[in-house]
Amino acid sequence: MMNMEPILTPEQIAFYQENGFIQVDNVLTLDEVAELAEAMEEAMTVDAEISVKTDKPDGAYFKVLNQKVNVWRDQGSMGKFSFHPRVAQIAKELSGADRIRFFHDHALWKMPQDSKHTPWHQDLVYWPMNEPGALSAWIPVDDVDENNGCMKFVPGSHKLGKLTGIDLVNPQNIFDFTQGTDISEKRAVIVPLKKGSCTFHHGLTFHYAHANKTDKPRRVLAVIYMPDGTTYNGAKHFITDNRFQVNDPIKGGTFPLLTK
C-alpha cells in the first residue's frame, strides 16, 4: 500500500466536519465509471452466492432500493472499486482517522418509473459500531438530479448524535426527533452530480434520495468505511454475526485496511 499524498484541501475537510457531507468532483475518470457500470450490471444480474439481495422485485423495499450488499464477494471486478485507493484515501482524510477500514459495499439502484424516494434517515443506527466515525462514499455511474434519485443532506445534522432507526418502507418523520434544535428539512441541500463525482456523508448525517421518475435505472455503488479501531457494539447484523465479541475491534478477513 502506498502512502498517498493528500487529495483534499483543508477547506474541504473543514466543510465535511462542519456539515457532515461533501461533494467531491472527478473522483473517478469516465473510463473507470464505464468499467464500474459494466461490473455492477453483471453483479446485479448474476445469482449471488455470498452477496445479499435485500428484497425481491415484487417487494415493498425493492421500490425504495434494489440493493445488493457486498457485491465484491461474488464479483472480482467490483473489488477494484469497492477498495478503490483514491476513494478510500478521501474517506480517510474526511474521517480524520489514521487508517481506514472497509466495512461493506452495496449496489443501490432505483429502478425506473415505479420507484419511491429513500426517506430521511441516519445510517449509523443500522451499523453495529460503538464509535460514530464511519462514513459512506456514494458513487453514481449515471448523472443524477432530482428526477432520477440524487441525494439531499441536512448540514450539521450529524452533530445531533444517534437518533432512531427509520423504517425505510413505512418511515417515521425524523424531524419529529429534532424539535427544539435548528435542524429542519428547510435547511436541506440537494446535490445533483455528474458521473465520476461523488458524495461522502457521515454516518449520523440526515440524508434522503429522490424517487427515480425516468425510464432508466439510477445506478449507485455505496462504500462504507470505518476508522481502524472501530469496535463492535453487540447489535445483530448479518455482516458481523458470529464474528466478534462485544467491544472487539471490527477487523479481519472481510474488513480490510484500505489505507496506511
Grid cell digits, residue 250 = 471490527
In angstroms, the Cα distances linking 36 to 33, 88, 112 are: 5, 16, 20
Give the nearer residue to ligand SIN in terms of CB position, either 72 or 206. 206
Site residues for Ni ion, 106-145, by CB under 5 A, read 123
- Rounded to an integer, what distance in angstroms lies between the CA atom of residue 165 and that of residue 126? 7
* CA 53 distance to own-chain centroid: 16
Give the nearer residue to ligand SIN in terms of CB position, either 160 or 220. 220
Among 22, 87, 163, 222, binds ligand SIN (CB under 6 A): 222
Q: Answer yes or no whether residue 228 interacts with Ni ion by CB under 5 A.
A: no
Q: Answer yes or no whether residue 224 interacts with ligand SIN by CB under 6 A.
A: no
Grid cell digits, residue 243 = 464474528
Among 40, 71, 139, 220, binds ligand SIN (CB under 6 A): 220
Q: Answer yes or no whether residue 154 interacts with ligand SIN by CB under 6 A.
A: no
* Min separation Cβ 108 and ligand SIN, Å: 4
DSSP string spanning 138-207? EEESS-B-TTBT-EEE-TTGGGG-------SSS---GGGG-TTSS--GGG-EEE-B-BTBEEEEETTS-E
Q: Answer yes or no whether residue 204 interacts with ligand SIN by CB under 6 A.
A: no
Q: Answer yes or no whether residue 105 interacts with Ni ion by CB under 5 A.
A: no
DSSP string spanning 12-63? HHHHHHHHSEEEE--SS-HHHHHHHHHHHHHHHHSPPSSSEE---TTSHHHH
The item of ligand SIN, Ni ion, none sharing an interface with residue 32, based on CB under 5 to 8 Å by kind, is none
Q: Answer yes or no whether residue 163 interacts with ligand SIN by CB under 6 A.
A: no
**Which residue is at the shortest CB distance from ligand SIN?**
209
Q: Answer yes or no whether residue 118 interacts with ligand SIN by CB under 6 A.
A: yes
Packing angle of the helix pair 10-19, 85-95 (nearest 10 deg): 70
Instruction: State the burial class of residue 216 (Cβ atoms within 10 Å of its Cβ: 0-12, 13-18, 19+).
Output: exposed
* Min separation Cβ 99 and ligand SIN, Å: 23
Give the nearer residue to ligand SIN in terms of CB position, either 199 or 244. 199
The item of Ni ion, ligand SIN, none sharing an interface with residue 195, based on CB under 5 to 8 Å by kind, is none
Binding residues (CB under 6 A) for ligand SIN: these are 65, 108, 118, 123, 136, 138, 149, 207, 209, 220, 222
